[in-house]
Amino acid sequence: MTVTRRQMLAGAGLMGAATAVAPFIGTTASRATPPAPAAAPNVLLPLFNNSAFNGQISFCLGGASPHTSDVGEVMRVVQQVNKKTGNPSDADTTTGDFDALIQGFVDMGDRMERLAKRSGKSDAVTYRQRMMRASSYAAQALFFVLGGSRPDDEADYFRICQRRWLAAARAFDRPVQQFRVESPYGSIPCYFFPSPIGKGPRPTLIVSSGSDGQLVECMGFGIT
């Protein structure tokens, strides 16, 4: 059985690598006391008790290697969200908890974009890395938007995520080149990153994430 992101965030359940996790969309009712931390012997880095939150944000945290996230920035959002929500388990997660997570990453992404523009394109590395992180943080809001109270924001978050990524990609020493490839299923948008050194024909690596993830998430597949 294939579980789509939409089904997962609508409460159908999250299929893990080896186990199925119970639905985690709850109600908007408030909780009297925060639940005790859930036992998670197979979780390497327990950021959240909610397994979906923990899995996706751990993936975001790993983006620190290809410079699409920053450990301190991500951990700051985690701290703020857990303080606001009480760090609920899967079964106790409410729409409001999704909203808190979404807003935390929206705010951090907006801050990174402001800082990128402040640094200016004359400082291309700083501009590029800040804008890339801004795109990544928008991608987290996009991933969870269907579980929050404003699912209609999905298209807006997608556009913000893509716009920031493209701004960052254009700030490489050799800017990304856009083109399209026709297929029986329609036109496929493609992005070519020229080698920063040398010129002329050379072996080219084709990267496809194989998922419905965002372009910023492909940066860790050998591009940066």
- What is the token pair recorded at 141? 């809001």
The domain segmentation of the chain, as residue ranges, is 5-30+47-173
In DSSP terms, which residues pair with 20 in a beta bridge? Answer: 15
What CA–CA distance (Å, rounded) separates 73 from 203?
Answer: 36
Question: 17: helix, coil or strand?
Answer: coil
Q: What is the pLDDT of residues 108-163, one digit of tens each?
A: 999 999 999 999 878 999 999 999 999 999 999 999 999 999 999 999 999 999 99
What is the percent of the chain with per-residue pLDDT over 90, rounded to a whole number? 63
Answer yes or no: are the C-beta atoms of 198 and 119 closer than 8 Å.
Answer: no
Q: What is the rounded distance in angstroms from the CA atom of residue 188 to the CA atom of residue 69? A: 27
Which among 73, 49, 44 has a CA at the least distance from the CA of 61?
73
In this prediction, residues 181-188 reach a mean pLDDT of 93
Q: Distance of CA 160 to CAs 46, 92, 145, Å?
A: 29, 30, 13
Task: Say what the pLDDT of residue 44 is.
Answer: 74
62-86 average pLDDT score: 96
Per-residue confidence band for 35, with pLDDT thresholds at 50, 70 and 90: low
Between CA 107 and CA 111 the distance in angstroms is: 6
Cβ atoms of 74 and 61 within 8 Å: the answer is yes
Task: Tell me: pLDDT of 47 over 60.
Answer: yes
The mean pLDDT value of the chain amounts to 84
Choose among 119, 136, 116: nearest CA to 68: 136
SS3 for 4?
Answer: coil
Between these two residues, 135 and 42, which has the higher pLDDT value? 135
Q: Considering the entire predicted model, what is its pTM?
A: 0.80
At 212 the pLDDT is 77
- pLDDT at res. 104: 98
